[in-house]
Amino acid sequence: MRLVFKKEVLKRFLKWAQRGLFACAVLLLGYCGFALVDAWIFQRRESRELDRLMRDRHVASQGTAQTESSTAPKSAPAAADGLIGRIEIPRLLLSAVVVEGVDKTTLRRAVGHIPGTALPGHSGNVGLAGHRDTFFRPLKDLKIKDEVQLSTLQGNFTYEVESLRVVDPDNVGVLAPSGENVLTLVTCYPFYYVGPAPKRWIVRARQVVR
Question: pLDDT tens-digit profile of 20-34?
Answer: 766 666 655 565 665
In this structure, is residue 96 part of a structural domain?
yes
In this structure, is residue 169 part of a structural domain?
yes
The answer on pLDDT for 4 being more than 80 is no
Calculate mean pLDDT across residues 64-74: 48
The answer on pLDDT for 63 being more than 90 is no
Question: pLDDT tens-digit profile of 41-53?
Answer: 999 999 999 999 9
Higher-confidence position of 92 and 59: 92
Question: pLDDT tens-digit profile of 158-185?
Answer: 999 999 999 999 999 999 999 999 999 9
In this structure, is residue 2 part of a structural domain?
no
CA dist list (Å): 159 to 52, 64, 72, 84, 138? 24, 30, 17, 16, 17
Using left for φ > 0, alpha for ψ between -120 and 50, and beta otherwise, residue 154 falls in: alpha
Neighbours of 210 (CB within 10 A): 4
In this structure, is residue 12 part of a structural domain?
no
- The total domain count for the chain is 1
In this structure, is residue 36 part of a structural domain?
no
Neighbours of 196 (CB within 10 A): 7
The answer on pLDDT for 207 being more than 70 is yes
In this structure, is residue 189 part of a structural domain?
yes
Parent domain of 111: 81-208
Residue 76: predicted pLDDT: 41
The answer on pLDDT for 81 being more than 90 is no
In this structure, is residue 104 part of a structural domain?
yes
In this structure, is residue 167 part of a structural domain?
yes
Report residue 129: phi and psi, to 5°.
-125, 145
Any idea what the CATH number is for the domain that residue 102 is in? 2.40.260.10
